[in-house]
Amino acid sequence: MSQPAFDAPVWHHGKALRKGYTTGSCATAAAKVAALMVLRQHLIHQVSIVTPSGVTLNLSVESPHIEGQQAIAAIRKDGGDDVDATHGMLIFARVTLNDSGAITLTGGEGVGTVTRKGVGLPVGSAAINRTPRQTIEMAVREAIGPTRGAEVEIFAPEGEARAQKTYNSRLGILGGISIIGTTGIVTPMSEESWKRSLSLELEIKRAAGLERVVLVPGNHGERFVRQRLGIEGDVVVTMSNFVGYMIEEAVRLGYRQIVLVGHPGKLIKIAAGIFHTHSHIADARMEILVAHLALHGAPPELLALVADCDTTEAAMEHIAAFGFQHIYDVLAGRICLRVGQMLRFTRTPPTCDAIMFSFDNEVLGSSRPLPEIVREMQC
């Protein structure tokens, strides 16, 4: 099957979205053109590469420079309509020819350094992932021939500043951006890269020996765990809306205990077996509350009030006024039941707990007595 053209749009919710290309593609193209400039001893302003996905990119070269047996070139990162922290920045390559017959690849200014196990690269190495390493070396080898050698340095002057807007520091990648991309192409609105970056944090923590993990929807959950429960932030991983995916990844990695912590606005969806909690997938929050309140004897007046609410915060006020706060313990238990059902074919499923809290950081409910859960997570 032929690959779609790079300029063919991706359609999402009725909109035509433009594709982009990865930092790995930029580094590959920059390295290729720098190598060609050294050999030919003249500046080149356009370069083409074939990405790992088979798509051909024709890219403009910026800041080309030749000095003897060394050349420098840059490619500007373009994320298409999936703009991220690296969009618009220049990725440079410096190629120096030598007679060694080998190609060596290093990361320079603005390219992060790996400081922890778990990202698939040796500690101390430049954060240039496996696929870009292969494509860079192949492109340079193709340019310089089978016998020459070359030193290739990838650098990005804006990298350290841009990296502050990424997950790199949480992954133990310090001092700059990562040179990444398994296909070479950025597909707009792709959840896969986002999910993968979250899963990578699970991998790193597991590689460091962690067996118990707290999964939270976002920053609010992380602050609650640290400030209210006194649990170290090192055991916390963001799951965003990808609850089912992150639980499955935790199982794959061999975690023994998972604690889901969050506001009812997200977590109660899991009680109905909704494992992707974004509102565009499903929004049955009030129905879930009404059903469980009814099962536990709530009066019709409370059920009607909750059913008419637009937010869980509003519903929580009515629940408190009628004295039905115990429903959160019920829902937390139901969440764990649903997780157990999802993992029913797993040979060694992790234990699961759930804790819900309010926006003012008060504990609303938990699947087991809270001190037991906290004590286990602090071990």
Domain spans in the chain, listed from the N-terminal domain onward: 10-186, 191-377
pLDDT score at 198? 87
Its pTM stands at 0.72
* pLDDT 10s digits, 199-222: 999 999 999 999 999 999 987 888
Instruction: Give 313 or 10, the one with higher predicted confidence.
Output: 313
Query: From CA 148, how far away is CA 169, in angstroms rounded?
Result: 37
Residue range 218-271, pLDDT digits in tens? 878 888 999 999 998 889 999 989 999 999 999 999 999 999 999 999 999 999
What is the arithmetic mean of pLDDT over 320-348? 96
CATH code assigned to 10-186:
3.30.2110.10
CATH number, domain 191-377: 3.40.1050
Rounded to an integer, what distance in angstroms lies between the CA atom of residue 338 and that of residue 150?
Answer: 56
Q: Strands 212-216, 236-238: parallel, antiparallel or unpaired by DSSP?
A: parallel
Strands 149-155 and 103-107 turn out to be: parallel
Tokens of 50: 């074939």
Mean residue pLDDT across the chain: 92
Tell me what pLDDT residue 262 has: 95
The string of pLDDT tens digits covering residues 26-42 is 999 999 999 999 999 99
| Mean pLDDT of the region 321-347 | 96
191-377: same fold as 10-186? no
3-state secondary structure of 328: helix
- Distances in Å between the alpha carbon of 185 and those of 136, 242, 243, 253? 15, 23, 26, 28
C-alpha dihedral sign at 93, 138, 41, 75: negative
- The length of the chain is 379
Paired tokens of 79: 């994320």
Q: CB of 284 within 8 A of CB of 244?
A: no
Instruction: Give the C-alpha separation, 235 to 213, whole Å.
Output: 5
Per the CB < 8 A criterion, the answer to whether 62 and 50 are in contact is no
202: nearest Cα among 165, 267, 250: 250
Residue 2: is its pLDDT beyond 50?
no
Banded pLDDT at 1 (limits 50, 70, 90): very low
Three-state SS letters, 247-311: HHHHHHHCCCEEEEEECHHHHHHHHHCCCCCCCCCCCCHHHHHHHHHHHCCCCHHHHHHHHCCCC
Closest CA to 245 of 225, 270, 271, 222: 270
Give the lowest-confidence range in 3-7, 151-155, 344-348.
3-7
User: pLDDT-based confidence at 159, cuts 50/70/90?
Assistant: very high
What pairing do the DSSP bridges indicate for beta strands 90-98 and 56-60? unpaired
d(CA 364, CA 154): 50
Residue 379 CA to residue 363 CA, distance in Å, equals 21
Segment 50-98, tens digit of pLDDT? 999 888 999 999 999 999 999 999 999 998 887 789 999 999 999 999 9
Kindly tell me if the per-residue pLDDT of 131 is higher than 60: yes
The β-bridge partners of 107 are 154
